[in-house]
């Protein structure tokens, strides 16, 4: 059976039985839509994913991009894939009709992207970055950029990138050094960027970089960083002194080039200011929720493809016998018969489907768009980004492990997905950054309003569920509440933030338990393998993961300071 | 500063302050040795590791072996490395003088190998496999094999392999199908093996395979499997109808070929029986403790190299500022100043040095060699193999994470070590197999004598330590005892084994806590960065890991059956 990448049945379940996405059509912006239009788009996406992106995955993993005579050459199959992605309209599916979009809910667009990511994360990456660049112009660009650049990005005529990182400015974007000097209607840029995904390629006629840089005389720090639109080729067609200086050799995502870019080596790299001077970081941050949810979706997708591969392998690979079977001439059994293999599969299922449900839950808050929903979106974003990245990596590791020695070879796919997955704990904010974002900002801002809102949302599902799982989740949520208040009351910021990593983990475990409760609520009273599997995975998560919360909470409260007090010379 | 691979100071500490290896010289077999001879050997090994194997690591990772016209070609640097490994005598360092060995304690040989593995696991692999093959002949071979084959392996004139796995017989060696038909002084073999590390190469004049096969008419199952010595070239020099059919493309260990071998395609593959018919598996098992400790050492070494790389990177990489520093024009700080980075480093230190101490502790039991010590060796072997493989993989992941985006590129080394490390949870028994070995065999055999012995050993160190850490460890050991008795008393084998994975994890956490107590005992009253670091890492392990034991023990006892009762159709 071919790998289904994401389970269609699970997507249907999450959309209509858990999240009731059809009800989103009651909102004015989605009034033209219906379950039928959602399904039309999803069907096109999964067809493209399975029929076009998926067969190209291994070839692209095996033949990474190279730089020749200043031009990056990517796998030629991208020239077949790119027009198909553009035709699907994946870059602007959730954007308004006014800019050529389909005005679909994020909830639907996210899942459609999920199929494409599961099939071929690198190939989808070109589209994801282009969408991000176009959206920045749509939100903050002037009329000229919106007229001359944005439509060519959304249509796929050109591709876009996000050019943020510099050698000395990764997690600390405040330290961006690329300079911009006013020169009439444009600026002249001078500097170097690294790790620019899609930073050059031979697929589209132009590549448009959305670049963070400092206007001469700007204040130090993040309040002096501006955003510029810097095309590889200027609108009239001439080259723009923006050159690919090198290709990074990555562990995974091998089909998508990661480029070192030099701006202004000849002193004539022209960029156009996007929005107001010195507002670049705040513009980026306004886009970041979306980008972070996309990373979370990518991590779920990468774990999902590997999970389905492992289930299929475990059903067909014969090895060993039941513990009670003493006859060595009896036939070997499929390894799914071994309880320890089912453990590895069930853990993957709990992570993958719990993560997917969280992405749907979070995207739905973005679609609802009211103040309270946006507060919840904001709170859940660091979890929706980092849980799939971290636990997804474990899930991918288990997929490889289920494949035994074969899993260690590139004759099978799990090792490739494991390599792909590792990026997701690094880009769009490392896991450490998200831990600090959650504890240092999200749960405490507005006197904990977001956390209170979350508790209320969970309480509704707990009330529906009743039973021991509902009670256990309720208790865990209360534990998070008292812990957060205790930490916030301590007054010492360093001590408060000390166990931000543990806090992120325990918060994630609780939020995923909530997703499993939402799913068992939706499955209540329904029979059959699919719903039985949901109940069983929920049972697994509540029995094995939720009890970890108390230990982690105690660590956060304890002021346990082993690494805080560890001196650099002691390593 | 160049990567030190293993810390010399730590090796010295473990050998002489923790394990008192110099006292081993009181045993008759080590009477010729002294701290000086140990140091001579270790110094040679670390020089070879740092000067010769280490510079070849990246080139070998980048240019894996290939098969051309029936011959496997490996990286040419191996032709420089191999004679140096032979010259060091690493293949027979711990073997008796009588067979050309140096009769060194395993405790010392293990650490010497550790340097070589940390420098270049693939390059060391050729020697490790050759040692294993030679040792099998030494232990079970007849006089002719001991005369004609063994010395050529130990001297490095030839190389050896262990040819066990077949496409249908991986974890289940009972299902080996390769056949052997008597033909005078030899047998004619017919069959296929896969994943044969070092199964062919162009470094040595001959490759000798130690092959599991079934003599015609043998009983089914493991009781019908025999061991054969099958050279690539016969003693008189002609080819032996044993051909490399393919090269597996591995995720890591790229310098060491993994080969599919065909025996007897032309009907003339000659093998010589090693020992008695049908005893092959029991011979293999007698060698397995050693092989498994080598895998554990390899996993520690792979994590160690990555840990030292991460510490150095964190000391020199500037990024961000203290949470309290609000001036964006202040200089960026080394990332080791960030508590969350120190968390990732301290966790690596706790895993790497805890694992190394366990390997030393375990190897010392092998050296002592009395009945009780061998029982402890047997008990600890699944932990010494699987703890470094599983926790070491996490440690390698953290090393990559500390490197941020750079860690994802092959311009830096952590991603390569992460790829290498993954093999260690698979070969020489998967982690699942070791969980079953520990719970299903090691802790229950002889009415729990080994577990009792372990408790007594730990009690001695607890008594020395006193204090809260001693008390916490004592309590954890008692918890393991009551848990094990409760499980053994249940009578239902499937239920007993259900949480073997959780049991392995909790047992490992306790055993590593014991190592940290041993190290803090040895550090007691000693000042300075090194010993302070030891105390701090112990504190970390006791605060963050040991409390997990109760949750895992409760899971084992609970009969929690989510994955046991999960049906294949529910995935």
Nearest chain A CA: its distance from B125 CA (Å): 17
Q: End-to-end alpha-carbon separation of chain A, Å? A: 50
The string of pLDDT tens digits covering residues B242-257 is 999 999 999 999 999 9
Residue B286: the pLDDT is 82
**CB atoms B555 and A566 under 8 Å:** no
B361 within 8 A of B19, measured Cβ to Cβ: yes
Residue B67: the pLDDT is 98
Residue B1: the pLDDT is 82
B522 within 8 A of B465, measured Cβ to Cβ: no
Question: By percentage, how much of chain A surpasses pLDDT 90?
Answer: 96
Nearest chain B CA: its distance from A437 CA (Å): 12
Contact residues, chain B, for A539 at CB < 8 Å: 562
Q: Which helix (H) or strand (E) holds A137?
A: helix A106-140
- Scanning the structure block, which residue is given the tokens 């084998």? B493
Residue A454: the pLDDT is 98
B155 within 8 A of B100, measured Cβ to Cβ: yes
Instruction: Name the residue among A174, A401, A560 with its Cβ closest to that of B543.
Output: A560
Rg of chain A in Å (alpha carbons): 24
Nearest chain A CA: its distance from B181 CA (Å): 21
- Scanning the structure block, which residue is given the tokens 């039991």? B365
Nearest chain A CA: its distance from B19 CA (Å): 21
Q: Name residues whose C-beta falls within 8 Å of residue B326's C-beta, 6 or more positions apart in sequence.
A: none
**CB atoms B345 and A410 under 8 Å:** no
Sign of the torsion angle spanned by Cα atoms B294, B213, B208, B260 = negative
CA distance A407 to A409: 5
CA distance A311 to B406: 33
Contact residues, chain B, for A219 at CB < 8 Å: 328
**CB atoms A566 and B329 under 8 Å:** no
CA distance B181 to B187: 5
A549 within 8 A of B538, measured Cβ to Cβ: no
Instruction: Name the residue among B175, B426, B498 with its Cβ closest to that of A408.
Output: B426
Nearest to A378 by CA among A367, A389, A370, A366: A366
Residue B493: the pLDDT is 85
Average pLDDT on B261-275 reads: 98
Instruction: Name the residue among B408, B544, B569 with its Cβ closest to that of A422.
Output: B408
The string of pLDDT tens digits covering residues A285-334 is 888 888 999 999 999 999 999 999 999 999 999 999 998 898 999 999 99
Determine which of B253, B439, B562 to mutate to test the interface with A (most A C-beta atoms within 10 Å): B562
- Scanning the structure block, which residue is given the tokens 């008597």? B182
CA atoms within 13 A on the CB side of B251: 30
**CB atoms A170 and B500 under 8 Å:** no
**CB atoms A564 and B250 under 8 Å:** no
B287 has pLDDT over 90: no
Nearest to A387 by CA among A455, A459, A293: A293
Chain B residue with minimal CA distance to A9? B571
B366 within 8 A of B376, measured Cβ to Cβ: no
Contact residues, chain A, for B494 at CB < 8 Å: 323-324, 339
Determine which of A3, A223, A251, A557 to mutate to test the interface with B (most B C-beta atoms within 10 Å): A251
Nearest chain B CA: its distance from A138 CA (Å): 29
The string of pLDDT tens digits covering residues A143-190 is 999 999 999 999 999 999 999 999 999 999 999 999 999 999 999 999
Instruction: Name the residue among B172, B318, B435 with its Cβ closest to that of A320.
Output: B172
**CB atoms A565 and B536 under 8 Å:** yes
Chain A residue with minimal CA distance to B527? A570
The string of pLDDT tens digits covering residues A230-250 is 999 999 999 999 999 999 999
The string of pLDDT tens digits covering residues A246-260 is 999 999 999 999 999
Would you call B198 helix, strand, or coil by DSSP?
coil
Instruction: Name the residue among B223, B338, B400 with its Cβ closest to that of A422.
Output: B400
**CATH fold group of domain B8-154:** Butyryl-Coa Dehydrogenase, subunit A; domain 1 (1.10.540)
Q: Long-range pairs for B526-535 at CB < 8 Å and ≥24 separation? A: B529/A567, B529/A569, B529/A570, B530/A570, B530/B9, B530/B13, B532/A567, B532/A570, B533/A566, B533/A570, B533/A571, B533/B349, B534/B13, B534/B353
The string of pLDDT tens digits covering residues A367-414 is 999 999 999 999 999 999 999 999 999 999 999 999 999 999 999 999
Q: What angle do CA A150, A137, A52 make, to 5 degrees?
A: 55
Residue A323: the pLDDT is 86
Beta-carbon pairs below 8 A across chains A and B: 258
**CB atoms A409 and B529 under 8 Å:** no
Instruction: Name the residue among B172, B397, B430 with its Cβ closest to that of A401.
Output: B430
**CB atoms A497 and B222 under 8 Å:** no
Question: In b/e form, how buried is each residue of A348-366, taking b as 16+ CB within 10 angstroms?
Answer: bbbbbbbbbbbbbbbbbbb
CA distance A571 to A250: 29
A345 has pLDDT over 90: yes
**CB atoms B551 and A554 under 8 Å:** no
A87 has pLDDT over 90: yes
Q: Name residues whose C-beta falls within 8 Å of residue B15's C-beta, 6 or more positions apart in sequence.
A: B21, B22, B38, B107, B108, B111, B360
Integer CA distances (angstroms), A55 to A35, A66, A122, A410, B111, in order: 29, 21, 13, 15, 47
Nearest chain A CA: its distance from B146 CA (Å): 32
CA distance B378 to B370: 12
Nearest chain A CA: its distance from B236 CA (Å): 35
**CB atoms A323 and B494 under 8 Å:** yes
B262 within 8 A of B206, measured Cβ to Cβ: no
Nearest chain B CA: its distance from A202 CA (Å): 22
Would you call B185 helix, strand, or coil by DSSP?
coil
Chain mean pLDDT for chain B: 97
Nearest chain B CA: its distance from A198 CA (Å): 16
User: Does the interface predicted TM-score (ipTM) exceed 0.95?
Assistant: yes
CA distance B393 to B387: 10
Chain mean pLDDT for chain A: 97
Residue B435: the pLDDT is 97
Instruction: Name the residue among B346, B543, B566 with its Cβ closest to that of A342.
Output: B566
Give the residues across from B182 on adjacent strands. B187
Instruction: Name the residue among A174, A339, A551 with its Cβ closest to that of B548.
Output: A551
Residue B289: the pLDDT is 85
Q: Break chain B into its structural domains and give their ranges.
A: 8-154, 159-278, 430-564
Question: By percentage, how much of chain A surpasses pLDDT 70?
Answer: 100
The answer to whether domain A8-154 and domain A159-278 are alike in fold is no
Nearest to A37 by CA among A129, A114, A91, A107: A107
Instruction: Name the residue among A252, A409, A536 with its Cβ closest to that of B248.
Output: A409
DSSP A161: E
B366 within 8 A of B384, measured Cβ to Cβ: no
Determine which of A13, A339, A435 to mutate to test the interface with B (most B C-beta atoms within 10 Å): A339
CA distance A312 to B562: 20
Residue B390: the pLDDT is 98
**CB atoms B540 and A532 under 8 Å:** no
B132 has pLDDT over 90: yes
Residue B230: the pLDDT is 98
**CB atoms B426 and A409 under 8 Å:** no
Residue B495: the pLDDT is 87
**CB atoms A566 and B345 under 8 Å:** yes
Residue B451: the pLDDT is 97
Q: Which helix (H) or strand (E) holds B473?
A: helix B467-489
Strands B269-273 and A186-197, sheet pairing: unpaired
Q: Give one DSSP letter per residue of A489-518, joined into a string.
A: HT--HHHHHTTHHHHHHHHHHHHHHHHHHH
DSSP B239: B
Class of the CATH domain delimited by A159-278: mainly beta
pTM of the model: 0.98
Residue A554: which pLDDT band, with cuts at 50, 70 and 90? very high
The string of pLDDT tens digits covering residues A453-500 is 999 999 999 999 999 999 999 999 999 999 999 999 988 888 899 999
Residue B299: which pLDDT band, with cuts at 50, 70 and 90? very high
Residue B490: the pLDDT is 83
Contact residues, chain A, for B493 at CB < 8 Å: 323-324
The Cα diameter of chain B in Å comes to 86
The string of pLDDT tens digits covering residues A537-552 is 999 999 999 999 999 9
Instruction: Name the residue among B251, B321, B408 with its Cβ closest to that of A423.
Output: B408
Nearest to A510 by CA among A458, A564, A449: A458
Nearest chain A CA: its distance from B250 CA (Å): 4
Nearest to B289 by CA among B164, B378, B161: B378
């Amino acid at each position: 059976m071919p790998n289904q990448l994401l389970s269609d049945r699970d997507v249907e379940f999450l959309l209509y039985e858990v999240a009731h996405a059809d009800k989103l059509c009651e909102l004015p912006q989605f009034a033209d839509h219906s379950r039928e239009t959602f399904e039309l788009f999803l069907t096109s996406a999964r067809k493209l994913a399975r029929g076009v992106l998926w067969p190209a995955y291994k070839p692209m993993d095996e033949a990474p991009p190279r730089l020749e005579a200043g031009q990056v050459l990517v796998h030629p199959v991208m020239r077949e894939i790119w027009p198909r992605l553009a035709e699907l309209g994946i870059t602007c599916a959730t954007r308004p009709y006014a800019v050529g979009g389909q005005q679909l809910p994020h909830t639907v667009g996210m899942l459609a992207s999920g199929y494409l990511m599961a099939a071929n994360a690198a190939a989808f990456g070109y589209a994801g970055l282009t969408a991000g660049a176009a959206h920045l112009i749509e939100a903050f660009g002037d009329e000229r950029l919106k007229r001359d650049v944005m439509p060519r990005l959304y249509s796929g005529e050109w591709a876009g990138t996000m050019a943020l990182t510099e050698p000395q400015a990764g997690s600390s974007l405040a330290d961006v050094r690329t300079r911009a000097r006013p020169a009439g209607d444009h600026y002249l840029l001078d500097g170097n960027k690294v790790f620019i995904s899609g930073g050059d390629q031979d697929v589209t006629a132009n590549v448009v970089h959305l670049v963070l840089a400092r206007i001469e005389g700007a204040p130090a720090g993040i309040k002096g960083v501006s955003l510029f639109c810097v095309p590889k080729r200027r609108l009239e067609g001439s080259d723009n002194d923006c050159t690919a200086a090198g290709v990074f050799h990555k562990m995974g995502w091998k089909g998508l080039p990661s480029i070192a870019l030099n701006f202004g080596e000849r002193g004539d790299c022209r960029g156009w200011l996007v929005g107001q001077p010195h507002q670049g970081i705040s513009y980026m941050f306004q886009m970041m929720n979306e980008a972070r949810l996309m990373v979370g979706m990518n991590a779920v997708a990468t774990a999902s493809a590997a999970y389905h591969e492992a289930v299929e392998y475990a059903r067909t690979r014969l090895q060993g016998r039941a513990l009670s079977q003493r006859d060595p001439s009896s036939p070997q059994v499929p390894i799914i018969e071994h309880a320890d293999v089912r453990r590895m599969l069930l853990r993957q299922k709990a992570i993958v489907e719990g993560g997917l449900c969280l992405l749907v839950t979070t995207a739905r808050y973005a679609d609802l768009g009211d103040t309270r929903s946006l507060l919840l979106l904001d709170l859940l974003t660091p979890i929706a980004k980092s849980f799939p990245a971290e636990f997804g990596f474990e899930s991918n590791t288990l997929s490889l492990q289920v494949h035994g020695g074969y899993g260690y070879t590139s004759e099978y796919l799990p090792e490739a997905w494991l390599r792909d997955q590792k990026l997701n704990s690094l880009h769009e904010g490392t896991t450490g950054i998200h831990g600090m974002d959650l504890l240092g900002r999200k749960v405490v801002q507005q006197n904990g309003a977001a956390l209170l809102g979350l508790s209320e949302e969970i309480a509704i599902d707990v009330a529906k569920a009743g039973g021991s799982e509902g009670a256990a989740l309720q208790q865990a949520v209360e534990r998070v509440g008292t812990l957060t208040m205790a930490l916030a009351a301590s007054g010492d910021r360093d001590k408060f933030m000390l166990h931000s990593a543990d806090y992120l983990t325990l918060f994630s475990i609780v939020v995923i338990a909530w997703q499993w409760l939402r799913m068992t609520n939706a499955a209540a009273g329904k029979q059959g393998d699919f719903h039985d599997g949901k109940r069983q995975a929920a049972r697994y998560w509540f029995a094995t993961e939720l009890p970890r919360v108390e230990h982690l909470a105690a660590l956060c409260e304890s002021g346990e300071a082993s690494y805080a007090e560890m001196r650099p010379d002691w390593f």
